Structure 1
């Protein structure tokens, strides 16, 4: 699961014990969880609270077996403490969205105007947090290799994200009216903007993680010729757009204008901004965005 990136507060970090003590920690569910949206939401909230508190050993306990088999508890603590950022550790409120069968629940995290949606998986009588495609691709690798890869891609800690934001410079492109409701297409004048060295583009991310093409924002930008955009910044922009359209007024003209202003403020060109808005509007129309698929 993205995130963005997403996500801005400094917090106190709970000291973590050594490897031997970590292995003695037991899973927190003894009697099993009800297969309900309420139970899944409560587990997701607890997982988020542990992450915000810096309790990475406790966070690991609430992952699916796929993650716990792919990275040890101690290595996950090392990875998280090395690459932690204030964006990932801000206080979060979790709400339930819907059940999809008896073993999958969709929940939504909200923090400081950002909305991020992800799945919860039911396995062995418990609700647990599964990996997003990017994290799944890292499982099984030595933690030093994972950290090196994230640093090379500038997605390890606050300084990397800040440097990427600072190096984004827009290029000239024709403006499209902010009230556009159809998906715009890329033109020859919408040329790639400068981006930080080693930052992954949408195209590069989809090549590495093909299943991520199920996300409309990624496949949509690629298909329109905007695959050169920074993947992490696109993820942040997408969640911010969802948040703007998720208000009571839905995708009103004002909400569209506000969303475009926010995208321009993130240094996307007008054409790039309209591409993101067009995908959002095509998915959800005037009813308002209730999720960030």
Structure 2
């Protein structure tokens, strides 16, 4: 056997993404370069690691076993590097954060200063829906998670970061006025929802239930960006987090429709398992937030107040 750490990292990423193309994008390598490294890696094993069926890549059972071994090897190598940097007086290690999809407009601002000040820290940030975020917490896969609705079934500790505000929005070119009453929404005003498991959807449905509003035509989409583009295109209106529509409000693609009992207000919380023993990197990040949080909010999110 004469495989390299580089090949192990490439194969591990291919298994994670189930695609050579996606792995190359993640690793900032060309697709041919990744394919060549996969071929060279495969040549060292008498049993196939992957197979292609109908132009789709599948990892064999043997390949899955090799991938698990590769992850352990790479983790040990990273650990050696982190320990070496720690002996040099640096904060070093991996920080893992799971973020609900709308949180991608929030979390990077609270991370960027910390990452610049601590070059020995590697960041892994998974942006997904609330259901997957909660799962990553339950399985102790991450240090922290960013949520706007706390999962009641878990014992958590938290830091309140900032408020999350949701408004009723539509494209003013398609909707001059939106009725909002117990008889609305009707067929000519579709309401666009996120998918099941989304915190934004949960907030919308809670509001509609409390206001006893019956929804006529529904449209369901699977990302905040998809909802935004659908609203801009005039497919319907939606109740959306302000944090993700700043530019669209500024250039007139979207308009806020002020209605009774709106906006909906929640809070962005950074949470972690109460029983979790935090790493030195995670502890350092909490200390950073304690001193820098308000400055970040003032500098990066002062535009919130105009709405």
- TM-score strictly above 0.5: no
- Which structure has the larger Rg? 2
TM-score (norm 2): 0.27
> Comparing both structures, which one devotes a greater share of its residues to strand?
2
